[in-house]
Amino acid sequence: MKDYEVVIGLEVHAQLRTATKMFCTCKADYGDLPNRHTCPVCLGMPGTLPVVNRQAVVLALRAARALDCKVNPHSCFDRKNYFYPDLPKGYQITQFRKPICEHGHLTIALANGDDKRVGITRIHMEEDAGKDLHLEGLPESFVDFNRCGVPLIEIVSEPDLRSADEAVAYLKELRNILRFLDVCDGNMDEGSFRCDANVSVMPRGSATYGTRAEVKNVNSFRFVAKAIEYEVKRQIDLLEAGGKVVQETRLFDSREGVTRSMRGKEEAHDYRYFPEPDLLDLTDIDVLQAEAHQDFPLLPAQLRARFRELGLPPYDAEVLSADKDIARWFLDLVTQVKNPKAASNWVMTEVLGYLNREKKTLGEFPVPQAELALLINAADQGRVSVTRAKEFFGRMLAEGLAASKLLDEGGAQVDDQDALLTVCRAVASEFPDELGRYLGGKEGLVAFFVGQVMKRTQGKANPRVLPTLMKQALEEKRA
Ligand code: ADP
Ligand code: MG
Ligand code: ZN
């Protein structure tokens, strides 16, 4: 392994979230009963004409902006010819000569904390094929054309990735971005987001890349990592044994964790690409671009940066930026709390814990944000212990009680020694001069600190235990 360098480039197919198909008005809803959403256009009947779906172009342009691509003012469609039962026209309409955009990049965070910039070669628009069904026990095969003609973008990366981990980081980031933008639902099980991994190895330090094998349509992050790792080992073993890697298309068998040769790698000229004669080129792109840039959200990387500015650790930044709604909600919450890290702990454990447990969305979260903020602040400032606050949180969820009521009721903190000690510690740190004099022998100053704690707790601290706790807090400072 250590004598070789791994080179990976990814091609991702992402299904665009449009209501209708790429070139006809059929619903782009392929989960339905087979062949419910078909028409002469997407079934490739002679004499029919395609019309470009405007919204698909707008969504592609959103992806273009997120990946910093250069948009071509003038792009065009081409026919890619091949025969397959799920492709009734005998060709796929795609963009070959001039894609909608090129030359972008995506920045990923590596495990060691560094950022890495991965080049995006191009994004082009195309239509999906149908789906062959080979049902167990039946002698014949079936074809479902619901997916035929559904709009896709293909995002092609430069061969910039150097390990399975980097490839997975890239895919996760890309999927997140497309979801944030409402460009693609990112559902890998249903194939709305799928990946071809191109893998090669070369002697470390070599100036030229090795021959690549392409592993087709891998549909989970775990499988992508496994497929790449398998390929790397296979290719190195092959080279070490004096063999040669051949350029070919392979399939990943997820049950056995191996890749197998599917066919020799076709070249562009095999497809006999030619300009699609039934479609005009895409012009006036700036009008669509203006539309694409509306409601452009903060992207995961921007959110991570914002969270880091708030002083949150990388882990928190990662968790909170994984979902657009959570991120936005958290940024609102943070404006109402004194300590962002305290808020982050509460959201990651309590709020997300509750949502996961109850299988609810943030929209269904029953506690108003201001109420939660009140509770977080109270716990953070030691007006109530964290344990007690979590108890209150449970009652707010279950009984719909208000935080202010729970906090006020009978001076929640009177007997709560943990909470009192927290306040004592805070107060001890807050008055360094008095603390110094106390530590220097002026023991009478305990009364001063006790007074401060009383003020802070609005007189609700239990006076029987307070002096002892205050002394304890002051003595801790001696260490
Ligand atoms: P094709 O459609 O023939 O697979 P594309 O140009 O669409 O060709 O995609 C090629 C992909 O393969 C790109 O993601 C590119 O980064 C990657 N790639 C090219 N050369 C290598 C290589 N030697 N090793 C690994 N990946 C490569
Ligand atoms: Mg390819
Ligand atoms: Zn149709």
340-369 tens-digit pLDDT? 999 999 999 999 999 999 999 898 988 889
Q: Are residues 216 and 355 in the same domain?
A: no
User: What would the two tokens of residue 31 be?
Assistant: 């989960």
Asked if 8 and 88 sit in the same domain, the reply is yes
Token pair 């943070």: residue: 334
pLDDT class of 274 with cuts at 50, 70, 90: very high
35 and 65 in one domain? yes
Pocket of ligand 1 (CB under 6 A): 7-11, 156-159, 198-200, 209-210, 212, 214
Q: Which ligand places an atom closest to the C-alpha of 27?
A: 3
Mean pLDDT check: name the lowest of 163-177, 257-271, 315-329: 257-271
Residues 6+ apart with CB under 8 A from 53: 18, 20, 21, 22, 23, 151
Using the CB atoms, write b or e for 20-48: b if 16+ within 10 Å: bbbbbebebebeeeeeebbeebbbbeeee
- State the CATH number of the domain containing residue 430: 1.10.10.410
Q: Rounded CA gap, 395 and 39, in Å?
A: 55
Ligand 3 centroid vs 25 CA: distance in angstroms? 6
Ligand nearest to the CA of 28: 3
Instruction: Tell me which of 292, 313, 346 is where a domain ends.
Output: 292
- Mean pLDDT over 373-389 rounds to 82
DSSP assignment of 298-309 equals: PPHHHHHHHHHH
Q: In angstroms, what is the span from residue 128 Cα to ligand 3's centroid?
A: 12
Say if residue 76 is in the same domain as residue 138: yes
- One domain for residues 26 and 73: yes
Structure token digits, residue 316: 């928190």
Mean pLDDT computed over 449-458: 86
User: If you measure from the C-alpha of residue 246 to the centroid of ligand 2, how many angstroms do you get, rounded to a whole number?
Assistant: 15
Distance 39 CA to ligand 3 centre (A): 4
Count of domains forming the chain: 3
For residue 292, what pLDDT is reported? 96
Whether the pLDDT of residue 466 is over 80: the answer is: yes
pLDDT score at 113? 72
Is the domain of 9 the same as that of 102?
yes
Q: Using 50, 70 and 90 to split pLDDT, how confident is the model at 269?
A: confident
151 CA to centre of ligand 1 in angstroms: 22
Q: Are residues 277 and 305 in the same domain?
A: no
- Would you state the pLDDT for residue 164? 95
Same domain, 276 and 340: no
Could you tell me if 100 and 232 lie in one domain?
yes
Residue 237 has pLDDT above 80, yes or no: yes
Do 47 and 168 lie in one domain? The reply is yes
Pocket test for ligand 1, best of 78, 124, 156, 163 (most atoms within 8 A of CB): 156
Find residue 107's DSSP bridge partners.
117
Pairing status of strand 248-253 against strand 213-218: parallel
pLDDT confidence of residue 287:
94
CB burial class (10 A; 0-12, 13-18, 19+) of residue 130? buried
Examine the fold and report which residue of 269, 292, 315 is the final residue of a domain before the chain moves on.
Answer: 292
Distance (Å) from CA 381 to ligand 1 centroid: 56
Mutate to test the pocket of ligand 1, among 11, 208, 209 (most ligand atoms within 8 A of CB): 11
Residue nearest to atom 15 of ligand 1 (CA): 9
* % the chain with pLDDT above 90: 68
pLDDT given for residue 437 in this prediction: 95
pLDDT, tens digit, for every residue of 136-156?
A: 899 999 999 999 999 999 999
pLDDT score, position 410: 46
Per-residue pLDDT band for 251 (boundaries 50, 70, 90) equals very high
> Hey, which residues does 172 pair with through a beta bridge?
none
φ, ψ of residue 195 in degrees (nearest 5)? -135, 140
User: What percentage of the chain reaches a pLDDT higher than 70?
Assistant: 98
- The DSSP code for 27 is B
d(CA 281, CA 391): 63
Is the model's pLDDT at 387 over the cut of 80?
Answer: no
pLDDT at 470 > cutoff 80: yes
Q: Which of 37, 60, 6 is nearest to 230 (CA)?
A: 6
Per mean pLDDT, which of 9-23, 111-125, 210-224, 349-363 is the most reliable? Answer: 9-23
Task: Say if residue 448's pLDDT is above 90.
Answer: yes
Which structural domain range is residue 394 located in?
Answer: 300-411
| Mean pLDDT taken over the chain | 91
Name the pLDDT band for 414 (thresholds 50, 70, 90): low
In sequence order, the β-bridge partners of residue 71 are 101
In a shared domain, residues 362 and 265:
no
User: Which of the residue ranges 158-162, 193-197, 246-250, 287-291 would you say has the lowest mean pLDDT?
Assistant: 246-250
- Please give the average per-residue pLDDT across 176-190, as a whole number: 94
Q: Band of the pLDDT at 415, cuts 50, 70, 90?
A: low
CA of 94 to the centre of ligand 1 (A): 17
Closest atom, ligand 1, to C-alpha of 211: 23
pTM of the predicted model, to two decimals?
0.81
pLDDT at 109 over 90: no
Domain boundary among 411, 429, 453: 411
Same domain, 353 and 379: yes
Q: Which amino acid is residue 196, in one-letter code?
A: D
Ligand 1: which residue has its CA nearest to atom 4? 214
pLDDT of residue 332: 93
- Is it the case that residue 449 has pLDDT exceeding 60? yes
